[in-house]
């Protein structure tokens, strides 16, 4: 088949779907990658893929501009004679599906990783957009030659209850998969004080990733005199309304609460240098960074919310805390600081979970099985 993968950033295609694109090419499919312009597009081209920059602005709400994007996508699908389009994230799922909605030949696969800002935020803008997005999703996700890939059972239930997709068209696939050979435990840890523990939050700088709670926990534990280092690895996301201003993060660093690492190319090396990974998110599709950390044998702390609780089972391969509760997060971090044996035990279990459930070979096989439900129509 001729398959088009459409995402809202080239970074996402390169970091989350590169292995899928390679697997499709090895299976003999013709793969085209589409996203807004960005530095990772050239990296995809260097891998031998055809990458096409889309005239897309993630923050745009201009109806004329958005309609032009949909028409641009429709022309691209027609000119390229695409057999199957795979859209990632809600906006791409809606626009990519609308562009191909009335085509008899194109199959549509939509992968929605979490409900996104419109459904997770309670501010006025999100609540205003919510009914409009629901209608668009209902129209876009319908049809016989369509499948919806969701990453956790809570989202499956939500989509079924909201009647946004027919149950027969929904497939549950846990995330995009992790390379468990690349992300593996270190042969040895860097030498430092046995009482010093390093805690990392790897995520985009968004409030709904739990940054405020992470800072609250850091303040409490550092003021109590504990030898704990707090780190954040991630970059600002100005295209997201929930973005944390860079000035705020720099002030936290200036106040001595944490070390901000910004973008990190070598995440396995970073994971090898820390002891605990915390992700106090408000909701996820399936948090890949958390799985990567687990694959490296790290103790995990996350929130008892959709997506996160699919990765961590409390006191088995990590600790679960309530969302939006900095004090509970601080208590969990303190427990792992005090109990090194527990830290090591749940880290070992987290590695095994990654191997058994989230290895990219498993996830790619499940995704290819969805594609195989369609036969090209010419």
pLDDT at 105 over 80: no
Distance CA 285, CA 116 (A): 9
pLDDT score for 84? 96
Q: Against a cut of 0.85, is the pTM above it?
A: yes
* Lowest-confidence region among 37-46, 48-57, 190-199, 348-357: 190-199
User: Domains of the chain (ranges plus CATH)?
Assistant: 2-177+360-371 (3.40.50.2000), 197-358 (3.40.50.2000)
DSSP secondary structure, 313-374, as one string: -BTTTBEEE-TT-HHHHHHHHHHHHH-HHHHHHHHHHHHHHIIIIIBHHHHHHHHHHHHTT-
Tokens of 102: 């009335």
pLDDT in tens, 109-120: 999 876 666 666
pLDDT of residue 125 exceeding 80, the answer is no
Average pLDDT, the chain: 92
Q: Give the model's confidence band at 192: pLDDT under 50 very low, under 70 low, under 90 confident, else very high.
A: low
Q: pLDDT class for 134, splitting at 50, 70, 90?
A: confident
Supply 180's token pair. Answer: 């468990």
Chain length of the chain? 378
- The 10s digit of each residue's pLDDT in 262-285 is 999 999 999 999 999 999 999 998
Residue 324 CB: number of other CB atoms within 10 A?
A: 16
% helix / strand / coil in the chain, to the nearest 5?
A: 45, 20, 35
Answer whether 271's CB lies under 8 Å from 293's CB.
yes
């Amino acid at each position: 088949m001729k398959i088009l993968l459409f995402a809202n950033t080239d970074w996402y295609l390169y970091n989350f779907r590169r292995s899928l694109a390679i697997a499709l090419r090895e299976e003999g499919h013709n793969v085209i990658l589409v996203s807004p312009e960005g530095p990772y597009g050239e990296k995809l081209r260097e891998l031998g893929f055809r990458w096409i920059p889309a005239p897309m602005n993630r923050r745009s709400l201009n109806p004329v501009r958005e309609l032009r994007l949909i028409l641009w996508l429709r022309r691209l699908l027609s000119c390229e004679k695409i057999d199957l389009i795979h859209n990632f994230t809600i906006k791409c799922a809606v626009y990519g599906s609308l562009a191909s909605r009335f085509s008899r030949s194109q199959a549509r696969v939509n992968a929605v990783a979490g409900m996104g800002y419109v459904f997770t935020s309670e501010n006025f803008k999100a609540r205003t957009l919510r009914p409009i997005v629901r209608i668009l999703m209902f129209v876009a996700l319908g049809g016989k030659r369509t499948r919806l890939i969701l990453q956790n059972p809570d989202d499956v239930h939500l989509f079924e209850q909201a009647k946004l997709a027919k149950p027969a068209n929904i497939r549950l696939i846990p995330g995009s998969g992790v390379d468990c050979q690349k992300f593996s435990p270190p042969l040895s840890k860097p030498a430092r004080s046995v009482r010093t523990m390093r805690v990392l939050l790897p995520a985009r700088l968004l409030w709904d990733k739990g940054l405020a709670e992470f800072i609250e926990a850091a303040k409490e534990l550092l003021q109590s005199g504990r030898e704990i280092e707090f780190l954040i690895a991630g970059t600002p996301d100005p295209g997201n309304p929930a973005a944390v201003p860079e000035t705020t993060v720099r002030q936290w660093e200036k106040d001595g609460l944490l070390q901000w690492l910004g973008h990190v190319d070598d995440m396995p090396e970073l994971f090898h240098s820390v002891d605990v990974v915390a992700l106090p998110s408000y909701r996820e599709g399936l948090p890949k960074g958390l799985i990567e950390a687990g694959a490296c044998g790290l103790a995990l702390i996350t929130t008892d919310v959709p997506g996160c609780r699919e990765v961590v089972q409390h006191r088995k391969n990590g600790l679960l805390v309530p969302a939006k509760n900095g004090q509970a997060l601080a208590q969990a971090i303190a427990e792992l600081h005090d109990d090194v044996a527990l830290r090591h035990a749940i880290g070992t279990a987290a590695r095994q979970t990654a191997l058994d459930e989230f290895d990219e070979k498993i996830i790619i096989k499940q995704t290819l099985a969805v594609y195989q439900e369609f036969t090209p129509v010419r």
